[in-house]
Chains A and B, each alone.
Chain A
Amino acid sequence: MDYGGKTDKELVRLSRRGDERAARELVHRFERPVFSIVYRMVRDRELAEDLSQDVFVRTFNNLDRYDRSYRFSSWLFKIAYNLTVDHLRKRELPTISVHGAPDALTPERQEATSLSLESDEEAPDDRLVAKELAGELEDAIAGLREDYRTAILLRHVEGRPYEEISEIMGIPLGTVKTYIFRARRELRDALSGSHEDSED
């Protein structure tokens, strides 16, 4: 059976019947977006992996509660958002640099907490520039409030429409628009500030 060609809802239906290959296909389909958003929220690779695993485990163990009138991805992101925010609120994590957490004193810990950027197509120099630019943006994103950060990532990285972001975050549509507007303004200010710093 070709699982790659099936829709998310078909895979969910099969998973509910105990089809492990369907569940595995769902994990493959969403592991990167879920991991990306969790990682950019907590900024720690090990923690992001643990939380992402918890997201999928919680999702599959509660599949009977999934309302088929919603998109599966919305439900999954909602679980990811709630789990990550709960964790952040418990731990009050500091915002950290793209190069690793401030408490990462050993090279191993820096490696564990630094961002992993994947690109095979660029030349080493281009990759360096891209990493530098991406790093500036990553740092600027990290400086945003957690709800601004989630909203802007869902909009610009995941390309989710406003209505879906509203469902995922459990906030009114108007609030989503405000968050995204303010997040853009803060990012613009942060990025223009970092350029001025680098030019000086």
Chain B
Amino acid sequence: MNDTKTGTTTHLAAEARERIGMGGEPGPGESRHLASCERCRREIAEIGSLQERFAALLVLVPSTGFANRVMARVQLPAPRWSRALAGLRTHPPRVAAIAATAVGAVIGTFVWLTTYPQVTPGVVAKLVYERTTGLVWQGVVAVGRVVYDSGLATLIGAFRADLNAWSAVGALATLTLVGMISMWMLLRLMEVSPSAIRTGVRRIG
């Protein structure tokens, strides 16, 4: 039981009084307390009486046509099918392509089912899988052969053998220098001064 203590007397908690006052059943402990506590009984009766009066407040209704007036002002997003139709109306070639695909699919399915009934979707899927994996494997082998024939593998191997810390730093410095010179030449070609980009200040008046 939820209690609150006032002076030396323990009373039901406000939540419990409200729950009972608004029609809830008191628990066994609460019933025992209520049997002997005039103050809690009075407060519960007051809440109950107030709740009854609130229940007697009659329903307030907006005037007829309220929903129509609301809906006239609401801007809901257009439904998906409507958006799709609108898209098709504005793109006739797309409509023609979709229609042609649909007609082709229907005719193709019909011919397939009547001419080759033994070729099931499972058989087709297996065939596609085998052909695809075969093609991928052949592609990998072809790339490897090109790399070997061009001597690229030998070249990379030679570079790796000569590579040390100083050569790496030198290469990096050379690349940086080439990059800076390229940038400077590019800016000259565009007739923009690097200092103008950096400051960008113009005197007025």
Contact = CB atoms under 8 A, between A and B. Distances in A.
Interface of A: 15-20, 23-24, 27-28, 31-32, 35-36, 39-40, 45, 48-49, 52-53, 56-57, 60-61, 115-119, 130-131, 133-134, 137-138, 156-157, 177, 181, 184, 187-188, 191
Contacts of B90: none
Secondary structure of the A side of the interface? helix
Given A116-B60, A188-B46, A18 B66 contact: no
A57 B77 CA distance: 13
Contact of A177 (B14, B46, B63, B76): B14
A137 B62 contact: no
B71 A20 contact: yes
Given A32-B59, A117-B60, A27 B75 contact: no
Contacts, number: 104
Contacts of A20: 71, 76
13 contacts: A18-B77, A23-B76, A27-B67, A31-B66, A31-B70, A60-B75, A117-B58, A118-B58, A119-B59, A134-B53, A134-B57, A187-B50, A191-B53
A39 B62 CA distance: 9
A134 B59 CA distance: 11
Secondary structure of the B side of the interface? helix
Given A31-B62, A181-B14, 11 more contacts: A18-B82, A19-B79, A24-B71, A32-B62, A35-B62, A48-B62, A53-B73, A118-B58, A118-B59, A119-B58, A137-B54
B67 A115 contact: no
Contact of A39 (B50, B60, B70, B78): B60
Interface of B: 14, 46-47, 50-51, 53-54, 56-63, 66-67, 69-71, 73-80, 82
3 A-B pairs closest in CB distance = A117-B58, A18-B79, A156-B54
Given A53-B70, A184-B47, A16 B60 contact: no
Contact of B58 (A18, A27, A45, A130): A130
